[in-house]
Amino acid sequence: MLLELAAYYALPENRPAYSVVFIAFGAEEAGLVGSSFFVNHPLVPLDRIRFLVNLDLLGTGSEGVTVVNARELPSQFQLLQRLNEARHAVPSLLARGRAANSDHFPFSEQGVPAFFLYTRGGITAYHDVQDRAETLPLTAFASVFGLVSSFLDALGAHPTAK
C-alpha cells in the first residue's frame, strides 16, 4: 500500500498542494523502536505534520477497517466515514480509541494527529507459519487505497479538517 500510494502521488496529476512523506519504520514488534527514534530525532518538525496515517495489516478487508485513534479525532473519523459512504469502499469502519499497538503511537503521544488503519476479515493467520503472502486475499486492497487517497486529498483541500 505504501508503494502504491507513493507511485500515485508521484504522478503530476495527483500531486497534492502539500508535501507527503512516505516512511517505513523498523522494529515495530520490538517496541516501536524505529518510529520512536524518528519522533525523538525528527527529519520533519513534528508540528509540521498535518496528519499521519499508519497502514499495517491490510491483507484482507471483507469485514471492513478498524481505525485506531478514531475516538480521539472524531472530526477526522467523520470525514473518513463520509468518504467511505460515498465510495462504498469497505463494509464498515470500526472506531477504536488510543492504543500503543503500532507506529502511530509515538507520534500521537507527541500531539501529531494520527490514525492506524488495519483491515478485518478473511484469514486469521498473524505472525505464525500460516502467515504468508500467498494466503492473503487482498480483498479490499483497491478500495482501501481509494479510501486512504481520498482521505489524504480531503485533508489537503480542507485545512480546517485538522
pLDDT, tens only, 95-132: 999 999 999 999 999 999 999 999 999 887 777 788 88
Note whether 67 and 108 are within 8 A (CB). no
Q: Which three cell numbers stand for residue 4?
A: 502504491
Confidence of residue 159 (pLDDT cuts 50, 70, 90): very low
Evaluate if residue 161 carries a pLDDT over 70.
no
All residues at 6 or more sequence positions from 16 whose CB lies less than 8 Å from its CB, including other chains: 9, 152, 153, 156
Domain layout of the chain by residue ranges:
2-161
* Right CATH for 2-161 from 3.90.1150.10, 3.40.630.10, 3.40.50.620, 3.30.450.40: 3.40.630.10
DSSP H helical ranges for the chain: 2-10, 33-40, 74-87, 105-109, 141-157
Note whether 120 and 94 are within 8 A (CB). yes
